[in-house]
A and B are shown apart, each in its own frame.
Chain A
Amino acid sequence: MRIPPIIVMLFRNKKFLAGFTTLLIVILLGVIGPIVYPVNPFETIGPSESPPNSKYPLGTDLYGRDILAQFLQGIRNSLYVGFITAIVAVAIGLIIGTTSAVLGGKADSVLMGFTNIVMAIPSYFLALIIAATTPVRTLELVGLFIGITSWPWFARAIRAQLLSLKEREYIYLSRMAGYGWLKIAFTDLLPGVASYTVMVAITFMGIGIGGEAFLTMIGLGPSRVSTIGIMLFWAFSMEAHRRGVWWWWVPPGMIMILILTALYLMNMGLDEVFNPRLRRG
């Protein structure tokens, strides 16, 4: 099988490669970590607030629970929330943006009106309001809340890009050939926004991970699991930062910065490869 040249170019791009490798390592940490280090993150297994040592590599929290175990499970769960956010937001944005661009006319006005209204309502208010009315919040629900409140700008961008693609000559040729709009959308239009959609999905993943931490820090996070946000929430509630218990809140914050930086680098790389204007050297 031949690898498409654009993929080769992508992996030759230093920024993309750095981001991708980092993300891969973090994913492995989250997926394999809990298997290699099978400690229950919610069980009291040692003394309260023991600093990192050979027995507890990242120390323990106020209740004597293992922080490394919380950390590994937290990485996995936060990545999962980010993934769900990306899927939900991209799906809604693609469906609304494409329908709007392809159908035009009344459907376009109605859909864009709806989009503009949702966009005007600040997404984190909306997410807060929805989260506050759900007593038991699973990881899927939290990802969903963030996803359904953050798609509007993407829908608008997709619509705008497709509208300009629609005027290209090959679309006229397809229409002359008698293809229906559905077929044109899938074969001619959507491939044109594929790279952009990948970049947006990466952005949404970051929004999901950050959004989870934000919702959780306010007290509306997922129930009965560990996430990056949950670790920060407990460290904050128990005032770990005011009592010198740095090992409770430093790891989740650092890994969040690492994940977000990796995602950002991947996007910078993608942008350089797919927008030749920015390509350098």
Chain B
Amino acid sequence: MVGLKPFVESLRRVWRFILVRLAYLIIAYFITITIIFFLPRLVPGNPIASQAQAIIQRLAMGALQPEAIASAWKYLVRMYGLGRPLHEQYIKFILNLFSGNFGYSMVYYPKTASELIMQAVPYSLILLVPSTLIAWIIGNTLGAFATYRGGKLESALTTFAVIMAQVPPYWLAFLFVYLFVANLKIFPPGEAWSPGLKPSLTPEFILDFLWHYTLPFTTIVVTSIFGWYLGMRFICVSELGADYIAYSESLGVKDKTLFRYVYRNSLLPQVTGLAISFGTALAGQTLVENIFRWPGSGFVLSRAIGSLDYPVIQGTFAVLTLTLFTANFLVDFIYALIDPRIRLGGGG
């Protein structure tokens, strides 16, 4: 019977690895938050205070009661801790952040930053998760298949992939808009659905949505396939040179079976890549969203940067880094479970 001791020992190693990784991510998150906090305060002329003033002025232009303005001002001052010492503002900022409260948007007041971000997140997810997944599947299958077949097909495909992998997604977006929107006029100019419609589950709306969805989706798929292709091909070629392949070959294992080993072993690093891609899904395609005016979080972020809407910038950064770190941590966690080098000690 196998003793319990080695098992407990390996469990302890896994735990330690996970805790160390978690500690790094938490520290990194705090540093990110701290940078986010100091960002607008480093810019000359404290934009937070001047923006708060601008909101009040805008309110005063409308037919608002003086008492309402006074209370809005009081609220804004309390919200951003204006006039308080910096460390108090910082603590307040962190406490607010953990309750998901990033303050009011300075451009779309009285909307809050969280409202704007949360409205946008589903659009980014619905655009990026399927496109990333499909590009991953096509790219890896193609990469493995090309390496397996070899010959002219492989070299032609690889040459094509080397060039295609360098095409910036936003540039392909330009090209698509130019061809299919401006010239052929077969796709809509942007956004997620036609202006007259209301989001619902009717066939009419779904079709309209898909019609708007096609171009941004295709842009992301086409520009990410070839990165996966090249990665897969590279890993497969290195894997084919491994000792166990030569050994299996000498044993007379069939090519097809052999290649299944190679494929399976090569897929592991690509799975990590996929997880990380999902982590960046919320921010990864800021410019593509921007060009197609797709109402996702990348679009919100770039608008906020353009108008220096700090609460929204801060909120988006806080949410995006959190999702990215969660994805990273999940990757580490899965690795800790499946990588024997961590479980058994030694190695990395």
Which A residues lie at the B interface, using CB under 8 A? 113, 116-118, 120-122, 125-126, 128-129, 132-133, 135, 210, 213-214, 217-220, 232, 235-236, 241-244, 246, 249, 253, 256-257, 260-261, 264-265, 268, 277-278
B317 CB–A CB distance under 8 Å: yes
Q: Is the CB of A260 within 8 A of B166?
A: yes
Is B183 on the interface with A (CB-CB < 8 A)? yes
Question: For residue A241, which residues in chain B have a CB less than 8 angstroms away from its CB?
Answer: 174-175, 177-178, 182, 291
Counting CB contacts under 8 A, is B39 at the interface? yes
For B325, list chain A residues within 8 Å (CB): 120
Q: Which 8 A-B pairs have the closest CB atoms?
A: A120-B28, A260-B166, A253-B171, A241-B174, A117-B28, A241-B178, A241-B177, A257-B166
- Verify B238–A277 contact, CB threshold 8 A: yes
> Within the complex, which residue of B32, B171, B291, B321 is in contact with A256, where a contact is CB–CB below 8 Å?
B171
**Contact present for A125 and B321 (CB under 8 Å):** yes
Distance in Å: Cβ of B20 to nearest Cβ of chain A: 9
Selected interface stretch from B106-114, B125-133, B280-288, B333-341: B280-288
User: Which of A241, A244, A260 has the most C-beta atoms of chain B within 10 angstroms of its own C-beta?
Assistant: A241
Residue among A132, A213, A232, A249 making CB contact with B39, cutoff 8 Å = A132
Q: In whole angstroms, what is the CA distance A257 to B177 when docked?
A: 19
User: Which residues 11-41 in B have Cβ within 8 Å of A in the complex?
Assistant: 24-25, 27-29, 31-32, 35-36, 39
Task: Tell me the smallest distance from the CB of B244 to a CB of chain A, in Å.
Answer: 15
User: Is B324 part of the binding interface, using a Cβ–Cβ cutoff of 8 Å?
Assistant: yes
Task: Determine whether the beta carbon of A218 is less than 8 Å from that of B39.
Answer: no
A218–B316 CA distance with the chains assembled, in angstroms: 15
Is A117 a contact partner of B31 (Cβ separation < 8 A)?
yes
Q: B89-123: contact bitstring with A at CB < 8 Å (1 yes, 0 no)?
A: 00000000000000000000000000000000000
Number of interface residues, chain B, beta carbon within 8 A:
48
Cross-chain contact B241 with A277 (CB below 8 angstroms): yes
CA distance A261 to B163 in the complex (A): 6
**Interchain CB contact (< 8 A) of A126 among B35, B42, B167, B175:** B35
Give bound CA distance, A237 to B248, whole Å: 58
- Taking CB atoms, residues of chain B closer than 8 Å to A213 are 168
Contact among B183, B237, B287, B305 for A278, CB-based, below 8 A: B237
- Kindly report which residue of chain A lies nearest to residue B40, judged by CB atoms: A133
Asked if B168 and A120 sit within 8 Å, CB to CB, the answer is: no
A218 touching B302 by the CB < 8 A rule? yes
Question: Shortest beta-carbon distance, A237 to chain B, in Å?
Answer: 10
Is there an interface contact between B24 and A242, defined as CB atoms closer than 8 Å? no
Please tell me if the beta carbons of B305 and A242 are within 8 angstroms of each other in the complex.
no
Distance (whole angstroms) from the CB of A97 to the closest CB of chain B: 15
The answer for the CA separation of A219 and B286 in the assembled complex, in Å, is 12
